[in-house]
Structure 1
Amino acid sequence: MVALATMFMLAKLAGEAGVSVAEIVFWRQGMAVPIILGWLAATGQLTAIRTRRLRNHALRATTGTLGLCCNIGAATLLPLSLGTTLGFTAPLFAVLVTAFVLRERVGPWRWTAVLLGFLGVIAIAQPSGEAMPAIGVAAGLGAGLVVAIVSFQIRDLSRTETPIACVFWFSFFGALLAAFLLPIYGSAHGTREWLLLFSIGLAGTIAQFLITSALRFGQVATVVVMDYTTLIWATLYGWAIWGHLPSASMWLGAPMIIAAGLIITSREHFLSRRVSPASALDESATRDIQGT
């Protein structure tokens, strides 16, 4: 989570320096490909990325890259703590997808959590009188929605694919998609901007490996709780670099959104004792793989 918060902090700095979202996404994704290949080659595990489901990986990468664009857009347009908090809405959207798309039964606990979470969104988005960029708030909520959708795709892929294969093919296809936009949105940069782009790719790749390890060795509930610590680091970065401190409405809304996510996660764990698409674990894993 420290690595993820660092990546979004660097993305915000890059955006302020005039680097486009398309460039940030490309270097975030593109740098991971040779690093992963090099590590697998050095450890004799190149076969781990073999797959017969390239089409599924490409579809997941298309959806995930859209989510990454939303995440980076929110980071560049909003205070880091606010953009991070809006990303925690993924479990809420996952419940809505479960109920209205998959037509599965959703009980009163999860519906209450969804209501609580969206009341938290309303609390932080407006009433303090401090105008928040509407497109930034939309990007943050869009990231939550896309991450919820991606969590279902990851759940499907995980039945046959290794975690490192999901990470690699997401980065590979995501870099290809972003490359098509470079001729339009790319521009010349100085040394500082290139260092920022390199650091974004490195931080995102480190986060991928750490989350993969967490999901391999840690208990579901532990990994879920750790995801919310991103807000601590995002708040510290926002205060130290930009002088942003959470507003009164953030202090009200953020706990509501986090509490809603934890209720959904604990309820899913209680009901099925397996990783659920409505679980914040999927959000944590997906956000990491996205650079999420």
Structure 2
Amino acid sequence: MTNGLPPAPPAPNPPPVPDARPDRIATGLALRLFAIACLSTMSALIKMSELRGASLIETMFHRQLWAVPLVTLWVVMGPGLKSLKTQRFGAHVWRTAVGLTGMIFTFGAVILLPLAEAQTFQFTVPIFATLLGALILGEPTGRHRWGAVIVGFLGVLIVVQPGREAIPIFGAFVGLMAALFVAIVAITLRQITRTESAGTTVFWFSLLSVPVLGAIYAFNFRPHDAETWAILIATGLVGGVGQLALTGAMRFAPVSAVVPMDYSGLIWATLYGWLLFDVFPTFSTWLGAPVIIASGLYIVYREQKLARGQASYAETPL
């Protein structure tokens, strides 16, 4: 009792505010898994169209052409067309040149190699990103990441098995070049996205690609049956959806969380290879792929640890 009045009851504890972050990460992971499923489906469609007589330039042209309306619609429903205005047009031209070169190797690997093997070589992207980050951007790279790079390339040797022709050497070269250019694109985007949104970057890449590919395609036009045309159109639509899902995943979860989902592509590649082309991964691929994947995951882990500041100042740089 105070001043003749009973003490006020204690204020109830406020209800805990739910942490939205786990749900956002789950959304990001789901989008990344969906994106990888779409891109794996696109690879299967590329291989199907090539077997039906479509050329590399045709698949590239339709991949970019049908992505343009999808990306435009996504921008309209999001930040609006005004967000497409850019002060760095030259940077987008450079990104397009690098992206198209990488697309030649990526699509070429799908055509030259079984799907699972082509997908396995894509897992070397973190390895090349580490090399380029050290050589071009001057990023600190110590024994941990260099060790992972060496292990990753040992995994490549296990898959290729030089001298035994487990994988065609030229096909392996194209697959590794595809991964190299994906890493170059990643570094290029790291520079561009400091001032440009992801939607703006994807839009300009798609739009600028079409005239270049169209000019070459005009001299390589081939007639096809209705099913082949449908496959070519589906290549662009499925690839465009996958690209948008990749972009969306980055809005909800950090890179270190979503990148491990990329390894689900090997499951899709194996499944499509079996169902559509009656091809299974070679024994050397089953041996080498886990080594490459482990290397990439360790690089992602070290990057995540450095980003969180868990590594001490005195520790050897990542």
Say if 1:105 and 1:187 are closer, same or farther in 2 by CA, change over 3 A: same
Given that residues 62 and 236 in structure 2 are in contact (C-alpha distance below 8 angstroms), is that contact kept between their aligned partners in structure 1? Answer: yes
Matched, 1:162 2:183: no
How far apart, CA to CA, are the structure 2 residues paired with 1:103 and 1:137? 28
2:109 counterpart residue number: 74
Q: Percent of pairs identical after alignment?
A: 42
Contact 2:134 2:141 in 1 (8 A): yes
Deviation digits for residues 248-291 of structure 1 (CA, Å, limit 9, x no counterpart):
111111011111111111111211349xxxxxxxxxxxxxxxxx
Q: Which has more helix, going by share of residues?
A: 1
Amino acid at match of 1:88: F
TM-score (norm 1): 0.89
Cα distance change, pair 113–44 in 1 and its aligned pair in 2 (3 A): closer
Q: Where in structure 2 are there 5+ consecutive unaligned residues?
A: 1-35, 310-318
Shift of 1:104: 3.3
Contact 1:62 1:173 in 2 (8 A): no
Equivalent residue letter for 1:122: L
| Shift, 1:127, TM fit | 5.6
Choose the corresponding residue for 1:190, options 199, 212, 225. 225
Matched residue count: 274
- For structure 1, the 5+ residue unaligned runs are 275-292
Instruction: Map 1:73-152 to 2 at 5 A.
Output: 73-126=108-161, 129-152=164-187
Question: Partners of 1:270 and 1:42 in 2: how far apart?
Answer: 36
> How has the CA–CA distance of structure 1 residues 269 and 16 changed in structure 2, closer, same or farther, with 3 Å as cutoff?
same
Q: 1:240 aligns with which of 268, 272, 275?
A: 275
Give the Cα–Cα distance (whole angstroms) in 2 for the partners of residues 36 and 104 of structure 1.
33
Q: Deviation per CA, 1:41-68, whole angstroms, max 9, x where unpaired?
A: 3567112222111110110011011111
Query: Residues 104 and 26 of structure 1: is their aligned pair in 2 closer, same or farther, counting only changes over 3 Å?
Result: same
Task: Answer yes or no: is the 8 Å Cα contact 2:114–2:279 preserved in 1.
Answer: yes
CA contact (8 A) 2:91 2:192 kept: yes
Length-normalised TM-score, structure 2: 0.82
1:190 Cα offset (Å): 1.4
Q: Secondary structure at the match of 1:245?
A: coil
1:14 corresponds to 2:45: no
Where in structure 2 are the equivalents of 1:25-44 lying within 5 Å? 25-41=60-76
CA RMSD of aligned residues (A): 1.8
For the Cα contact (< 8 Å) 1:89–1:261, is it kept in 2? yes
Aligned to 1:220: 255
Distance 1:25 1:121 in 2: 27
